[in-house]
Amino acid sequence: MTLEAWSQLWPKVPVLLQGLVVNLELLAGLLSLGLVIGVAVALVEVYAPRPFRALALAYEWFFRGVPELVLLFLFYFGPSQFGVDISAFLAAVLALGFRSSAYQSQIFRGAIQAISPGQSLAARSLGMSRLGVIRHVILPQALRLSLAGWSNEFSSVLKDTTLAYGIGVVEVMRQARYLTARNFPLALPAFIVVALMFLILTYAGNWGIGLLERRLRVPGLEARG
């Protein structure tokens, strides 16, 4: 790795950043999908009648049990067997999003179960409906509690977005490969820069989530009591 390689790489950093934007788009898509479905699955696992609970557990078991790359290929190649053409980007958002929802559901389920049952009983005795209790008493506390676990999931899926290059999404790894295919000596510097980008993003993201956690903290609130 020579100084020359670094000086050749420097002007290419914007190209890598372009790729990184695609990773961030993937991240935004998969985290939102994972959040919505994750909360729903957690609620079903805690509150729904047994048959629904079994379905949610099966869903979680599948998406936590299949390797990410396999999921990516299933979602990319699978739908075309039924005549549905799905873009590589959408396939990646769906595959990684469903997978993340399975992990996120565990974070939320744990947080929901950490809220003392006494609170539910108290709210019910004041005349709140069951849904009202979940919405106004349980979830506002549970979502705050999940932030710590959620920051872990954020760091994990942020890096998983690079796997999308396996099905042809032109994200930062793919851009790095374009650079090295054209100019082999750039390989090491390019991957070092990509690594730095992810280190910075992970730090910034976790810092943001930590800030949110402190902002949303309710003084005096305890998880069990």
Partner 1 sequence: MGALAMGQPKYVVLCDIAWAPFEWVSAKGAYLGFDLDVMRAIAILEGYEIEIRDTPFDSIIPAVIAGKGDIGASGFTINEERAQVVDFSEPYWTSDQAIVTRAGAGLDVAGALAAGRKVGAQRGTTGAGWVEEHYPDVTLVLYETYPEAVLDLLAGRLDAVVQDVDPSKQAVAQYPGLLEIAGIIETGEQFGFLVAKGDPKGILPLLSSGMAKLKDSGAWDLLVSAYFGPGLEEIEAAWEASIDILLVEKDVLKFAQTFAALVAE
In this chain, which stretch among 35-43, 97-105, 177-185, 194-202 interacts with partner 1, using CB under 8 A? 177-185
Pick from 172, 151, 33: which is nearest to 99 by CA?
33
Q: Does the footprint of partner 1 cover residue 177 (CB under 8 A)?
A: yes
Residue from 98, 165, 171, 194 that binds partner 1 (CB under 8 A)?
165
Residue from 52, 77, 203, 207 that binds partner 1 (CB under 8 A)?
77
**Which x/- pattern over 8-47 shows residues binding partner 1 (rule: CB under 8 A)?**
----x--x--x-----------------------------
The three-state secondary structure class of 187 is helix
Residue written as tokens 């849904």?
Answer: 131
Q: Does the footprint of partner 1 cover residue 85 (CB under 8 A)?
A: yes
Q: Does the footprint of partner 1 cover residue 90 (CB under 8 A)?
A: no
Task: For residues 39 and 150, give the distance between their C-alpha atoms in angstroms, rounded to a whole number.
Answer: 12
Cβ atoms 114, 145 nearer than 8 A: yes
Task: For residues 85 and 101, give the distance between their C-alpha atoms in angstroms, rounded to a whole number.
Answer: 24
Task: For residues 197 and 143, give the distance between their C-alpha atoms in angstroms, rounded to a whole number.
Answer: 29
Side-chain-facing half-sphere of 134: CA atoms under 13 Å = 12
> Residue 23 or residue 104: which is nearer to partner 1 going by CB?
23
Instruction: Kindly list the residues in this chain that would bind partner 1 in the complex (CB under 8 A).
Output: 12, 15, 18, 76-77, 80-81, 85, 165-168, 170, 174, 177-185, 187-188
